[in-house]
Amino acid sequence: MNPLHFIAFSSLFLLTSQLGAASIMVNEYYNGSASVGVSTKMARDEYIEFVITEKTSAASLAALTFGDTNDATSQLQGVFKFDQATLDQALTIAGIQQFLPGTILVVKGADLGPQQLGYSPENGNWSIELTAGQGAVDHSERLINGNITIGNNGDVVWISSSNPPTRNSDVSGLIHAIGHDNAPGLIATTVATAFGTENILNSTISTGRSVSNIGSKTETLQSTVGGTRGVANGGANSLWINGLRGTNITAVPEPSRGILVLLGVLIMTGQRWRKGGTDV
């Protein structure tokens, strides 16, 4: 059997294996039109919104990386991490040890206002807003050294346990991702295979629009003018997030590490077969 076919067959077979659980997922992102902020490596008027789905410490979040892809959705582009000191500050303000399920965590560009760290679930404030270059920073590793800028033609916003991914095609650590592309590249295709086709919106989007999950842990993506930064997206999404703020909540599913490792190998093997491709 051709090695590429064997890897593909093995990857698809493993998709039926037992799913694990992720503590955080991407809920929304906004496609702006401003330039990248000086020394922040993120577009000034864009944002990414995450939902925490189980109790999570500042250290656990700081051990993750997140970012986006190029507009061909074929390679990872920007890689950020959460600043643990900032997250610890938010927990100190709230007087608790961990972020609670249903917490909304926003990473935003420099033009979208100062950081909002007044986290207080007890008083109904379930959101935190981190400004790029402060509470969320470009990863110091330079293997992947692009900016976070949402593309019109396509993009995938992801979060990973890899710290950082080892190359621009490394998807082995992905714990969640959503995106848009009407002609999905390698990363978008991998996300659709590993997490479900509902995680990639089959569309391009224009500036001034967001891609948001209006569903629950099983995503229903839509593109709308503007966005709902820092709050639930209405309908089933609001019901789900409000439910997370209760007790005994089951975390969102994520594919096993073996699935994503094999899919990553498949991507890298496929890239070597393509003529004129780029890789780092």
Q: What is the pTM of this model?
A: 0.84
Phi and psi angles of residue 220, each rounded to the nearest 5 degrees, phi first = -130, 105
Structure tokens at 49: 């919104």
What pLDDT shows up at residue 206? 97
92 CB contacts (<8 Å, ≥6 apart)?
none
**C-alpha distance from residue 191 to each of 15, 177, 248, 253 (Å):** 12, 7, 28, 13
108 CB contacts (<8 Å, ≥6 apart)?
46, 47, 48, 129, 130, 131, 132, 229
Q: Are strands 136-138 and 76-82 parallel, antiparallel or unpaired?
A: antiparallel
Q: How far apart are CA 159 and CA 173, in angstroms?
A: 8
Q: Are strands 127-131 and 104-108 parallel, antiparallel or unpaired?
A: parallel
Distance of CA 204 to the CA centre of its chain: 18
What pLDDT shows up at residue 140? 86
Per-position pLDDT tens, the chain of length 280:
444 333 333 333 332 232 345 699 999 999 999 999 888 999 999 999 999 999 999 999 999 999 999 999 999 999 999 999 999 999 999 999 999 999 999 999 999 999 999 999 999 999 999 999 999 999 988 789 899 999 999 999 999 999 899 999 999 999 999 999 999 999 999 999 999 999 999 999 999 999 999 999 999 999 999 999 999 999 999 999 999 998 533 444 445 555 555 555 555 555 554 444 445 5
Structure tokens at 221: 């993506």
Residue 206, classified by CB atoms within 10 Å of its CB into exposed (0-12), middle (13-18) or buried (19+), is: exposed
